[in-house]
Every structure is written in structure tokens, then in C-alpha cells.
Chain A
Amino acid sequence: MTNHSSSPSADTPRDASRPGTLWIDFDLLDRQIIDLAGNKLGKVDDIELVTGADGRLTVSDLLVGQSALGRRIGGWVGRCMHGIAERLRPEQDPPPLRIPFEHVTQIDSEITVGLRAELFPTPPLESWLRDKLIGRIPGARDESQ
């Protein structure tokens, strides 16, 4: 793996004829993100692009979450996904999980980031299920029950 500050494309075999080239949809979107220990962080639901000082449109962050995916899909399906994400989160307009692209260390069938999964909040659906369903099952919180 490369170090965190270098370009991840050095490990990217996707477009072997042009090293350093990435195809946003083909190489990044919908791929599983894992941390250094192999823990899953979610899938890439969208990519944040920013205009740099030189005017170039630069890849900034990987976006993860139902709200980002719903916005990308669009239509009534996308609105439903975004609505569910809003209901599961306490915030009014839940922001997607952002992973700065500079932390990407390897891009293959999975995208590896040089961060630990513990640094990121629990996905809203997982926390909702834990609080509303799993946590209410007798014995879920106390092994002695």
C-alpha cells in the first residue's frame, strides 16, 4: 500500500495503459470501502468535487450514506431513500459521511482507506435497529438475563 499522502492511482490497475487515470463511475462509485483492518465502512454513494485554485475540478471526498445515494439515484426511489435517512437520523438534514480522498490508499475491487472504522459514526440504519429493535430484545444488553 502507498502512504496516505500519495496518489492511490499507483495501485490502480484499472486503466493500465494510462497510469494515474481514474474513472469516477467505473473505479469508485458503488465500491465497498474498508479500513486498514478490513472493516467495512460502507459503499461509495457519491463523490464530492471541488474547484481548485487553478480552476480544475478536483476529487475531494468519498460520500457514504443513504442520503447521498438517494440524491444520486433521484426520482421517487431516491426521495424515499433520502426520506428514510432523514427519519433515522436526529438531524434535520443528515449530512453524508465524508471520507477525504487523500486518505484513500488503494483502489481495487474494494477501496482501502488509511483510517480506522472506529473514527466514523455508526450508520443510521444500524443505530436505529440497535436502539429500536435489537436493544429491546431481552438479554440484548445484559448477558445475565
Chain B
Amino acid sequence: MKASDYLGRTAHDADGRPLGRIADLITTTAPDGTHYIHAALVTPRHRGRLLGYERPGFHGPWLIERIANWLHRGTREIPWTDVHLTP
């Protein structure tokens, strides 16, 4: 599988309800040094690419940050084990 097979697809919860579009895949490091997917960043709105303000510690010009946060409100991380690609 490729990252592009997941990015942009709709994520669903266990009951088949749509959670939003997968905007990013978040990896963490295993003890052996490999990176594995542990969460998906899911955004409920289709309003272009994220600008990075959804990442912890990213702040910005104030106005741009406010606009980006408003456009992409509701964006959140979902544990990969809770992400279902089909309803």
C-alpha cells in the first residue's frame, strides 16, 4: 500500500459513521527504529491543505492562524486502530 491510498479517503468509525477526510498519517517510532502509523489526522471539511496549525506548538501570524483554525475546525487525531476505511 502507498500513503496516497489512504490520504484523502473518508475515515469511518466502528459504526460506519463518516468521521472526515484523512489529511495526514502520523507515525511513531518502534523500539527497532521503524516508523509505524499510529494515528490519522482527520478533518471534517474539504477546504484545501492544512497549513500546519493543527500541529502542537505551531503558532503563527495571528490572523492566518485564526483563519486556518476556523477553516479546519474539527480536525483531530484518530487512533489508527479506530479508523475504518469502509462504512
Residues of A participating in the B interface, judged by any CB pair closer than 8 Å: 5-7, 9, 14-18, 20-26, 29, 46-52, 56-59, 63, 68, 71-72, 74, 101-102
CB <8 Å contact, A72 and B37: no
CB <8 Å contact, B56 and A58: no
CB <8 Å contact, A46 and B56: no
| A-B pairs, 4 with minimum CB distance | A20-B29, A72-B4, A47-B3, A56-B36
Residues of chain A within 8 A (CB-CB) of B57 are 15-17
CB <8 Å contact, A7 and B29: yes
Closest beta carbon of chain B to A69's beta carbon, Å: 9
| Known contacts A9-B35, A56-B36; is-contact A24 B55 (Cβ 8 Å) | no
| In-complex Cβ contact of A23 among B1, B34, B36, B41 (8 A) | B41
**Residues of B within 8 Å of A, CB-based: how many?**
26
Docked CA distance A101–B6 (Å): 19
CB <8 Å contact, B28 and A20: yes
Map CB proximity to A onto B44-85 as digits: 1 under 8 Å, 0 otherwise.
000000101001110000000000000000000000100000
Q: Is the interface of A mostly helix, strand, loop or mixed?
A: mixed
CB <8 Å contact, A15 and B1: no
Docked CA distance A24–B56 (Å): 16
CB <8 Å contact, B28 and A25: no
Residues of chain B within 8 A (CB-CB) of A20 are 28-29
Closest beta carbon of chain A to B40's beta carbon, Å: 10
Closest beta carbon of chain A to B39's beta carbon, Å: 9
